[in-house]
A = this chain, B = another copy of it.
Amino acid sequence: MVPDIKKPYGKQTERRLSDLQEYFSGKKVVNEMLGQDDPIIYKVFEYPVPNEGEHLIYATTILLPGKVKDEFYFTKGHFHNKPGGAEIIIGIEGSGSVLLQNREGEFRYEEVKINSVVYSPPGWAHRAVNTSKKDFVFLSICRADVGHDYEIIISNGFAKRVVEREKKVCLIN
């Protein structure tokens, strides 16, 4: 039997608002929201493989719809620890977008639908954003030895934020 990528498998992780409070720009709104509730922002299922470069990791992310103030829910986003290490992101259900940036300051914004494939080249960071009103489900694949570097994202953020303005999806600095 092989996994169905829409159903739970392998190692399962939940990321709640409290796990992402350093990432959203509306700190005051985050604190107000956390006073009421600590909503799930996304869930990840990851197929277990040895942490070696000949293996590939695949993981399903279910990114829920929602906003913090006007900023759409997103995944933390990361560079890989190894300078290289491409990542492939495949739209499975719903729609959203992927932000891509490298350490030289280049930035790309890609819209993702079912069966879209985004190629994040070696050295590029990537973050998914749910700009829709339904779950955005995608599969990510990378080498099992590349690791995740969240520190630069926490301190510097992404080049752009994705917000709703007058019912439209906007990129702002």
Contacts and interface: CB of A to CB of B under 8 A. Distances in A.
Interface stretch (A3-11, A147-155, A157-165): A3-11
Contacts of A115: 4-6, 92
Contact of A58 (B3, B92, B117, B121): B117
14 contacts: A2-B116, A2-B119, A5-B116, A49-B119, A49-B121, A54-B84, A54-B86, A56-B86, A56-B87, A56-B119, A56-B142, A92-B115, A117-B139, A141-B141
- The size bracket of the interface on A is 35 or more
Interface of A: 1-6, 47, 49, 52-56, 58, 82-88, 90, 92, 110-113, 115-119, 121-122, 139, 141-143
A53 B113 CA distance: 28
A4 B116 contact: yes
Contacts of A53: 53, 84
A103 to B, nearest CB: 15
A92 B92 CA distance: 9
Contact of A85 (B54, B84, B118, B122): B54
A5 B55 contact: no
B90 A139 contact: yes
Contacts of A112: 2
User: Which 7 residue pairs spanning A and B have beta carbons closest together?
Assistant: A54-B84, A54-B122, A56-B86, A2-B116, A5-B115, A2-B110, A55-B86
